[in-house]
Copies of this chain bind each other. A is one copy, B any other.
Amino acid sequence: MRIAILGGDGYCGWATALYLSSKGHTVAIIDNFARRQWDFELGVQTLTPIRPLSERLNVWQQLTGRVIDLFVGDVADYEFLASTIASFRPDAVVHFAEQRSAPYSMIDRKHAVFTQVNNVVGNLNLLFAIRELAPDCHIIKLGTMGEYGTPNIDIEEGYITIEHNGRKDTLPFPKQPGSFYHLSKVHDSHNIMFTCKVWGLRATDLNQGVVYGTITDEVQLDEALINRFDYDEVFGTVLNRFCAQAAIGTPLTVYGKGGQTRGFLDIRDTVRCIELVCLNPANRGEFRVFNQFTEQFSVLDLALMIKLVAGKMGLLVGIEHLPDPRVEAEAHYYNAKHSKLADLGLEPHLLSDSLVDSLISIALRYRDRIDPSVFNPQVNWRETNNQRRTISALSPESLYSQEQVVPKAG
């Protein structure tokens, strides 16, 4: 298949592009390097030293003989996006090209407006470009489990059948998103559903859980292919932060009680899910929703797991409860369905002690690059103008001599 990966230089996008390329698909990456720019803006960097995309793609070609096309530009620029779709003629587009951090969207008004405009306009542009230029192309859109919030009933996959006053209908599952970012994904979902109805587009919305892991079969072929490992308070995810904290012996920081329960999955399952969805497209006019995660954990569950495994590795760390910077339930019912991808053949990689060990080992390998000042939350949901740090706690040597302090691969 011809598959375009929008946002293919990012964390999920890069792993997906390599995986699909390795499976023999013709892959193109569409990216404007916004994700790298946000690191510059925030004064943070991925724990793993990622290479420029051109170098990544060259190494991939040298190692495998497979070529991944590259289109550099912004999906919010319609002329660029349309010319790219017309030129590449994809059978499927996988749309990762959005601002995906909840804290980033909550920094202040400009970041909230940017997040919603960027995500909504990019997605609208994609819908129009597919309708006008490739109407049979399957749109695979990354949503988030965070669109649902934490209702006091089971979360279904996109739709729920409601009986009410003696009548019945199957309707979109009610959404209660918890940040301007999560809201942008809800806006996208509604927009896509509408265009499937009026234009007969085919789309699958993947409400993905929190992804962990850096290693896939493809990225471990060479140090130059290494994927991101974000542990900072804005773009980092909770499991990565805990691993980085364990690696340098600082307490694992749990927001509030830690009863916040979410769906999680291994990045190796992300890439496999995308492949399964590409191989089993939605019908014309169908707006299909899958919940893409494999296990539920509370934040405190994860902290205890990391603490235990770190202890076995000789790393003694405590757990510290911070005031929750987010407005969210710290203890709640949570039972989200996730059978549709399993029905298509997904065999999950569950979170095990050995996997946690490997995640902590990656953090240890790059521990000289860990900046502990970026662990602490500085974006408070209750404020409209969060002043963020710009001074790093890393020594100048660490900042400016990364190549020297990074251990060699292998």
A contact residues vs B (CB 8 Å cutoff): 78, 109, 112-113, 116-117, 120-121, 124-125, 128, 131-132, 151-154, 160, 162-165, 167-169, 171-180, 183, 186-187, 190-191, 193-194, 197-199, 327, 333, 381-382, 384-385
Contact = CB atoms under 8 A, between A and B. Distances in A.
A380 to B, nearest CB: 10
Contacts of A167: 152-154, 333
A338 to B, nearest CB: 15
Contacts of A186: 187, 190
B168 A152 contact: yes
A198 B112 CA distance: 14
Q: Copies per complex?
A: 2
9 contacts: A116-B121, A128-B384, A153-B164, A153-B171, A177-B194, A180-B191, A183-B187, A187-B190, A198-B327
Contacts of A183: 187, 190-191, 194
Given A165-B154, A191-B183, A199 B382 contact: yes
A114 B148 CA distance: 27
A208 to B, nearest CB: 19
Contacts of A164: 153-154, 160
Nearest 5 pairs of A and B residues by beta carbon: A171-B174, A152-B169, A198-B327, A153-B164, A109-B128
A131 B384 contact: yes
A325 to B, nearest CB: 11
Contacts of A131: 384
Contacts of A154: 164-165, 167
Nearest to A132: B384
Contact of A116 (B113, B120, B128, B193): B120
